Amino acid sequence: MINTPDSPQGNLWEVFIQAKPGIPHKHAGSLHAVDAESALLSARDVYTRRGEGMSIWVVPSHEIVASTEAEADSFFDPADDKVYRHPTFYEVPEGVKYL
């Protein structure tokens, strides 16, 4: 079982922790490991020392597809001027019940 990692420290992994059942896993940080098993053990040691979690995901960093800064304008700006997408845009007419 010989791995050929990116660096002598292993590959980079992203760690996601779920704090309670039913809520989403949140990104906690990253670490180096040679494979999934050791990534999981290290994630437990590095990121859950103070009772932070009850479930851990580890994902190879290179598997994450991220948007780039160059795309930011086309991705996010159109949402800026669409105030009607926020519920606060609408006035609730007087007398409406059970809304």
Interface residues toward another protein, by CB under 8 A: 1-2, 9-10, 31-34, 37-38, 41-42, 44-46, 49
Other C-beta atoms closer than 10 Å to the C-beta of 83 total: 9
Of 8 and 87, nearer to another protein (C-beta) is 8
Single-letter amino acid, residue 66: A
- Kindly tell me the burial class for residue 3, based on how many C-beta atoms sit within 10 Å of its own C-beta (0-12, 13-18, 19 or more): exposed
Q: Least distance (Å) from another protein to the CB of residue 9?
A: 5
User: Closer CB to another protein, residue 36 or residue 72?
Assistant: 36
